[in-house]
Amino acid sequence: MRKKVILMTGAAGEIGHSLIQRLSDEGRAEIVTLDLKPLDPEIARRVRHPIAGSILDRALLETILAEYAVETVFHLAAQLSTRAEFSPVAAHEVNVNGTLNLLEFAQAQGRGQGRSVTFLYPSSIAVYGFASLEEKHAAGRVREYQYTEPITMYGCNKLYCEQLGRYYSRHYRQLDVETGRSWVDFRSIRFPGLISAFTVPSGGTSDYAPEMIHHAARNVPYDCFVRPDTRIPFMAMPDAVDALLALAAADRSRLTQTVYNIAAFNPSAEEIQQMVLASFPDARIGYRPDLKRQAIVDSWPEAVDDSKARADWGFSPRYGLESAFADYLIPNIRERYRR
Ligand code: AKB
């Protein structure tokens, strides 16, 4: 009898770190993780079976398929927007072919168990693309179906995989009478930039916000790679984890779409700087815009409309900008670097 588990890819990343803590704190389920990188020891001890390996290794996925009855997949593995621009083909391989492998894995799991596998897929505001700052400012809060013309490989990958997931969820092998049944319940969230008190991202283009905060807490000078007026949506990591768990638990009959925007706050880089200086008045924060990374962030929306997430599955973030700093980021970051 295969053990019923959650499978989490990319578990060594920022979302995985917080999601494993939450799931294990709540004793929710047995977790099997798959990542090329080793888990933080504190996190690894919370996991039933940490597997070192690639989502491109189909033989490894077959082994996991034989050993476990996977009820839910959190497919977090991805190469983020900045890193993907330096190796777009490799990023496509991981972000698209890796996701296809996991969707096939979930389909086989569901077929074998006779029940749908819930598949959580973190998409991104990187799927949006504006031709100019004027268009970005004029658009305001965008809906899921608007301005989806990404300018990065990562954004293209995320947009395509949203479609791939909807295909597996609703149209899989539709002409094949024998096997034309979907066993994947695909659910996706377009995450804004995420800010964690416990980890610092790498390879992203929204990284300037967490980098600015963590550098200040370590009393290390920081040159922000975007202009002070740069504005995109952000969210505190606990709200991102809450959203994934809420969408995973939602009654499928209430979900009117497979992809959802969520939002919390959308400060400018300068407003983030002001919040940081209020807690770390000696922080040395400058601006040295990287014009190519700036162009990527300028192509992302100022704000998103999350009304469908609120209506369909009750999304409601705990933290606004001020409370994210006062109640989550600053207390935990001070503790982290005091050690
Ligand atoms: C990135 O910067 O690539 C990610 C994202 C916004 O999806 N953090």
How many angstroms is it from 203 CA to the middle of ligand 1?
8
What atom in ligand 1 is closest to the CA of residue 191? 7
How many angstroms is it from 72 CA to the middle of ligand 1?
24
Question: Is the overall model pTM greater than 0.75, yes or no?
Answer: yes
Instruction: Identify the pLDDT of residue 177.
Output: 80
Nearest residue to 99 (alpha-carbon basis) of 32, 164, 7: 164
Distances (CA, A) of 261 to 47, 95, 129: 29, 20, 15
What atom in ligand 1 is closest to the CA of residue 81? 3
What atom in ligand 1 is closest to the CA of residue 84? 3
How many angstroms is it from 253 CA to the middle of ligand 1?
30
Tell me how crowded residue 88 is: count the other CB atoms within 10 A of its CB.
16
What atom in ligand 1 is closest to the CA of residue 192? 6
How many angstroms is it from 125 CA to the middle of ligand 1?
7
Residue nearest atom 1 in ligand 1 by C-alpha distance = 204
Nearest residue to 103 (alpha-carbon basis) of 171, 17, 185, 41: 185
Q: Are the CB atoms for 160 and 79 separated by under 8 Å?
A: no
How many angstroms is it from 79 CA to the middle of ligand 1?
9
Instruction: Identify the pLDDT of residue 134.
Output: 97
Tokens of 130: 């504006």
Q: Are the CB atoms for 299 and 128 separated by under 8 Å?
A: yes
Q: Cβ neighbours of residue 317 under 8 Å, at least 6 residues apart?
A: 235, 236, 239, 242, 243, 262, 263, 264
**Domain 78-338 adopts which CATH fold?**
Rossmann fold (3.40.50)
What atom in ligand 1 is closest to the CA of residue 82? 3
Q: pLDDT for 199-254, tens place per residue?
A: 999 899 999 999 999 999 999 999 999 999 999 999 999 999 999 999 999 999 99
What atom in ligand 1 is closest to the CA of residue 206? 2
Q: Cβ neighbours of residue 235 under 8 Å, at least 6 residues apart?
A: 191, 192, 193, 194, 195, 262, 263, 264, 265, 317, 319
Nearest residue to 22 (alpha-carbon basis) of 180, 245, 279, 297: 245
Instruction: Identify the pLDDT of residue 2.
Output: 77
Instruction: Identify the pLDDT of residue 4.
Output: 84
Residue nearest atom 7 in ligand 1 by C-alpha distance = 124
Per-domain boundaries in the chain: 78-338
Candidate of 79, 81, 290 to mutate for ligand 1, largest count of ligand atoms within 8 Å of Cβ: 81
Residues in contact with ligand 1 by the CB-under-6-Å rule are: 80-81, 124-126, 154, 191, 193, 204-206
- Alpha helices by DSSP H, listed for 51-144, are 58-67, 81-86, 88-92, 98-113, 133-139
Q: What are phi and psi of 153, to 5 degrees?
A: -60, -40
Reduced to 3 states (helix: H, G, I; strand: E, B; else coil), residue 49 is strand
What atom in ligand 1 is closest to the CA of residue 158? 7
Q: Cβ neighbours of residue 310 under 8 Å, at least 6 residues apart?
A: 316
Candidate of 14, 80, 261 to mutate for ligand 1, largest count of ligand atoms within 8 Å of Cβ: 80
**Segment (H or E) for 18:** helix 14-25
Reduced to 3 states (helix: H, G, I; strand: E, B; else coil), residue 33 is strand
User: Which segments in the chain show pLDDT lower than 50?
Assistant: none
